[in-house]
Amino acid sequence: MSESRTSMSDWTRKTGAELADALAAGETTSVELTQAHLDRIAAVEGAIHAFLHVDAAGALAQAAESDARRSDGDLRSPLDGVPIAVKDILTTTGLPTTCGSKILEGWIPPYDATVVTKLKDAGLPILGKTNMDEFAMGSSTEHSAYGPTHNPWDLDRIPGGSGGGSAAAVAAFEAPIALGTDTGGSIRQPGAVTGTVGVKPTYGGISRYGLVAMANSLDQVGPVTRTVLDSALLHEIVGGHDPRDSTSVDPPLPALVEAAPQGATGDRSGVRVGVITELGREASAGSGWQAGVLARFQESLDLLVEAGAEVVEVSCPNFVHALAAYYLIMPSEASSNLAKFDAMRYGLRVVPEGDPSAEDVMRASRDAGFGDEVKRRIILGTYALSSGYYDAYYGQAQKVRTLIGRDFDAAFEQVDVLVSPTAPTTAFKLGEKLDDPVAMYLNDLATIPANLAGVPGISLPSGLADEDGLPAGFQVLAPALADDRLYRVGAALEALLEKKWGGAILDRAPELKGADA
Amino acid sequence: MPEITRQEVEHLADLARIDLSDAELDQIAPQLSVILESVASIKEAAADDIAPTSHALPLTNVFREDVVVPGLTAEQALSGAPEVDQQRFSVPRILGEEA
């Protein structure tokens, strides 16, 4: 009895790749390890609130199917039988998809997102849907209409956003791996503040069909995991061309899974690493860059140099305008994308007194269904797109986008990858920035340029900041379609840091109350 | 600095089809002014001769074969509808009283 309890709780500490190996070796079943994660969810969700919906019955049924396939020798992917959590912005048949919004409360989509279809085809049981800032608008998950998610490192702090639910679920060992989406950093910044790994792939590398759009020219689905290898495994499963997404790219993905072990064990000499001058290098008091974050970043750079990498500083002068361009382009696209929530075909309908017209119903429904941040961004976007302001705001932002792309092009002529700290600070306190939108937006400073240019990026933990003992993130950016470089350099640094810290950074997170002792 | 007035916000909310309460208007107008001030540098950030980028991918005219594929059934398409009548979306009147 006590023996099985121990082994159950142990399964939740394993990575996706380790679980796949254990399944292959016949040491466990998908049902057993799916149940272990459901038990962990039951034990810690009261403290974390990473999930909006948990689908125990569905996950166990998918797990049983995986076990049956395995006994027939008919496996569908390297992660067949490994459970996963999915951000609630990806449509799922039979499971609610709310995007963290009241306007979609209880909505059950009639179709699966392509990435969800791919997970099902690959045999990954879906544990449930994870919490997020409403329609992915936020950097703290506090803008969820269903209450915030808490950071497993310190329950009084934010788990990042918008994908705080996926990151916290993985950091709290409720799920071995998860899917997120990243429009301006919503995978990478939560990864940084929870001590997990998050990847924003090349724009177009993973289908957006069934991803409820916030800013469609910036949104991208990506992996949320505890190791670089797990991200590569998941990326290969959900990536690739999709005829249902006209912005999906045709060239096949480079080999990602083999890049990780090559990076971890291979020769790192000759890798050219560019440190972006504009992101934290010229930090001074009051600049918003936390000393402990910068210290861990420098330490990681030193490790790469010791391992033979060539580190140079590269200036991307237009990055200083990236935040402004992003906070015009994103709300502009969002104001257009969210026009579809009109209370006519699906979602909340509020009917005012009297004999209201369809427009009256739209106005009342959108007021009742959208939260403050969503309203702010829709109105800001409407402003930036309106005649008289279009050229000065949206038009200029689009030009800056061109300049940022040129900065990346010039930089990647000199170096193989660019690096920076992922976020300027470690996790801040819940409520601290809720009433100050601009302070909240500054969290995305280092992650936004990649979205504007469509290039891929990864965040991995660089260690714990001295002043607060909380995790900091290290970001690696690569040229479009060269996602394999993220995994090669990311796995190299992960291995070097693991040696330095004597194990994974996440192993240093405090044990959660209510969890199995 | 760019100022955005309460009346302007009311007009924008109207364009965006959102009924904002007085309290919301009081809150959002000053917040938008602060946000606009923080992005005002964009006006000087790029020269006139820089071409705009609307999209990171150089994709144009993405075609597919014109073949019939299964779509949603009427029942599936209507499954989330607030109101259904005779296998159709039922919506409030769309014309004004005087029409």
Q: Could B38 and A438 be called an inter-chain contact, meaning their C-beta atoms sit closer than 8 Å?
A: yes
Among the ranges given (A7-11, A117-121, A235-239, B4-8), the one the predictor scored with the smallest mean pLDDT: A7-11
pLDDT of residue B63: 87
Across all residues in chain B, what is the average pLDDT? Answer: 90
Q: Of all helices (H) and strands (E), which one includes residue A94? A: none
**Which two tokens mark B8?**
């302007």
pLDDT of residue B61: 85
Find out whether A361 and B92 touch, Cβ atoms under 8 Å.
Answer: yes
**Which two tokens mark B60?**
């144009």
Residue A516 has pLDDT above 70, yes or no: no
**Chain A closest-CA separation from residue B29 CA (Å):** 9
Rounded mean pLDDT, A23-28: 97
Residue B97 has pLDDT above 80, yes or no: no
Rounded mean pLDDT, A245-272: 88
- Of B42, B50, B88, which to mutate for an interface test with A (greatest number of A Cβ within 10 Å)? B42
Closest residue of A to B17, CA-based? Answer: A363
What is the Rg, in whole angstroms, of the alpha carbon atoms belonging to chain A? 22
Rounded mean pLDDT, A374-379: 97
Q: Could A324 and B41 be called an inter-chain contact, meaning their C-beta atoms sit closer than 8 Å?
A: yes
Q: Where are the domains of chain B?
A: 1-44
pLDDT of residue A8: 46
Closest residue of A to B14, CA-based? Answer: A363
pLDDT of residue A335: 97
Q: What's the number of CA atoms in the CB half-sphere (13 Å) around residue B20? A: 26
**Which two tokens mark A80?**
């067949």
pLDDT bucket at A102, cuts 50 / 70 / 90: very high
| Burial category of A182 from C-beta neighbours within 10 Å (exposed 0-12, middle 13-18, buried 19 and up) | buried
CA atoms of A469 and A88, how far apart (whole Å): 30
Does any CB of chain A come closer than 8 Å to the CB of residue B74?
A: no
Find out whether A374 and A100 touch, Cβ atoms under 8 Å.
Answer: no
Which of helix, strand or coil describes residue A129?
strand
Rounded mean pLDDT, A194-203: 98
The proportion of chain A whose per-residue pLDDT surpasses 90, expressed as a percent, equals 90
**Chain B closest-CA separation from residue A381 CA (Å):** 9
CA atoms of A436 and A440, how far apart (whole Å): 6
Q: Considering the domain boundaries, does residue A344 fall inside one?
A: no
Q: Could A367 and B18 be called an inter-chain contact, meaning their C-beta atoms sit closer than 8 Å?
A: yes
Q: How many CB pairs under 8 A join A and B?
A: 182
Which residue among B18, B42, B56 places its CB closest to the CB of A400?
A: B42
Closest residue of B to A328, CA-based? Answer: B39
**Which two tokens mark B53?**
């980028």
Top mean pLDDT of A275-284, B20-29, B56-65 is at B20-29
**Chain B closest-CA separation from residue A511 CA (Å):** 40
pLDDT of residue A439: 87
**Chain A closest-CA separation from residue B84 CA (Å):** 9
* Sign, Cα dihedral of B55, B59, B63, B68: negative
Rounded mean pLDDT, A26-38: 98
**Which two tokens mark A225?**
């995991």
Taking only the tens place, the pLDDT of each residue in A8-18 is: 458 999 999 99
Q: Could A402 and B46 be called an inter-chain contact, meaning their C-beta atoms sit closer than 8 Å?
A: yes
**Residue A272 CB neighbour total at 10 angstroms:** 14
Taking only the tens place, the pLDDT of each residue in A315-372 is: 999 999 999 999 999 999 999 999 999 999 999 999 999 999 999 999 999 999 999 9
Q: Considering the domain boundaries, does residue A175 fall inside one?
A: yes
Which homologous superfamily is B1-44 in?
Glu-tRNAGln amidotransferase C subunit, N-terminal domain (1.10.20.60)
Q: What distances in angstroms separate CA A98 from CA A28, A104, A134, A184, B81, one per listed residue?
A: 34, 5, 9, 20, 15
Q: Could A107 and B12 be called an inter-chain contact, meaning their C-beta atoms sit closer than 8 Å?
A: no
- Of A108, A383, A433, A481, which to mutate for an interface test with B (greatest number of B Cβ within 10 Å)? A383
Q: Could B93 and A355 be called an inter-chain contact, meaning their C-beta atoms sit closer than 8 Å?
A: yes
CA A350 to chain centroid: 33
Across all residues in chain A, what is the average pLDDT? Answer: 94
**Which two tokens mark A454?**
């469509």
Concatenating the DSSP letter of every residue in A272-311 gives EEEEETTTTTT--TTSS--HHHHHHHHHHHHHHHHTT-EE
Q: What is the domain-level CATH number for residue A263?
A: 3.90.1300.10
Q: Considering the domain boundaries, does residue A336 fall inside one?
A: no
Does any CB of chain A come closer than 8 Å to the CB of residue B72?
A: yes
Q: What letter would DSSP give residue A393?
A: I
Find out whether A188 and A457 touch, Cβ atoms under 8 Å.
Answer: yes
Residue A260 has pLDDT above 50, yes or no: yes
Range of the domain at A415: 2-322+398-506
Q: Could A324 and B38 be called an inter-chain contact, meaning their C-beta atoms sit closer than 8 Å?
A: yes
Helix, strand, coil in percent for chain A, rounding step 5: 45, 15, 45
Beta bridge partners of A200: A457
Round to the nearest angstrom and report the end-to-end CA distance of chain A: 15
Does any CB of chain A come closer than 8 Å to the CB of residue B29?
A: no
CA atoms of A62 and A86, how far apart (whole Å): 15
Which residue among A344, A361, A402 places its CB closest to the CB of B52?
A: A402
The proportion of chain A whose per-residue pLDDT surpasses 70, expressed as a percent, equals 97
Residues of A with CB below 8 A from B20's CB?
367, 375
Q: Of all helices (H) and strands (E), which one includes residue A261? A: helix A259-265
Taking only the tens place, the pLDDT of each residue in A278-317 is: 998 866 656 789 999 999 999 999 999 999 999 999 999 9
Residue A517 has pLDDT above 60, yes or no: no
CA atoms of A306 and A138, how far apart (whole Å): 38
Q: Could B8 and A376 be called an inter-chain contact, meaning their C-beta atoms sit closer than 8 Å?
A: no
**Chain B closest-CA separation from residue A274 CA (Å):** 22
CA atoms of A454 and A457, how far apart (whole Å): 10
Q: Considering the domain boundaries, does residue A457 fall inside one?
A: yes
**Which two tokens mark B19?**
């009924």
**If we measure between CA atoms, which residue out of A192, A159, A161 comes closest to residue A174?**
A159
Residue A7 has pLDDT above 70, yes or no: no
Find out whether A439 and A206 touch, Cβ atoms under 8 Å.
Answer: no
Rounded mean pLDDT, A157-161: 97
Phi, psi of B95 (to 5 degrees): -105, 155
Residue A144 has pLDDT above 60, yes or no: yes
Q: Considering the domain boundaries, does residue A349 fall inside one?
A: no
pLDDT of residue A265: 87
**Chain A closest-CA separation from residue B93 CA (Å):** 5
Residues of A with CB below 8 A from B17's CB?
339, 342, 359, 362-363, 366
Residue A4 has pLDDT above 50, yes or no: no
Taking only the tens place, the pLDDT of each residue in B66-75 is: 999 999 999 9
Residue A499 has pLDDT above 90, yes or no: yes
**Residue B88 CB neighbour total at 10 angstroms:** 11
**If we measure between CA atoms, which residue out of A299, A296, A226, A224 comes closest to residue A471?**
A296
Residue B23 has pLDDT above 70, yes or no: yes
**If we measure between CA atoms, which residue out of A38, A73, A89 comes closest to residue A59?**
A38
Residue A460 has pLDDT above 80, yes or no: yes
Residue A5 has pLDDT above 60, yes or no: no
Total of domains in chain A: 1
Rounded mean pLDDT, A232-259: 92
pLDDT of residue A282: 66
CA atoms of B42 and A294, how far apart (whole Å): 28
Rounded mean pLDDT, A260-284: 86
Residue A208 has pLDDT above 50, yes or no: yes
Q: Could A382 and B15 be called an inter-chain contact, meaning their C-beta atoms sit closer than 8 Å?
A: yes
Rounded mean pLDDT, A135-162: 97
pLDDT of residue A38: 98
pLDDT bucket at A2, cuts 50 / 70 / 90: very low
CA A266 to chain centroid: 28
Which residue among A108, A366, A376 places its CB closest to the CB of B17?
A: A366
Give the catalytic positions of A in this structure: 87, 162, 186
Q: Could B15 and A386 be called an inter-chain contact, meaning their C-beta atoms sit closer than 8 Å?
A: yes
Q: Considering the domain boundaries, does residue A342 fall inside one?
A: no
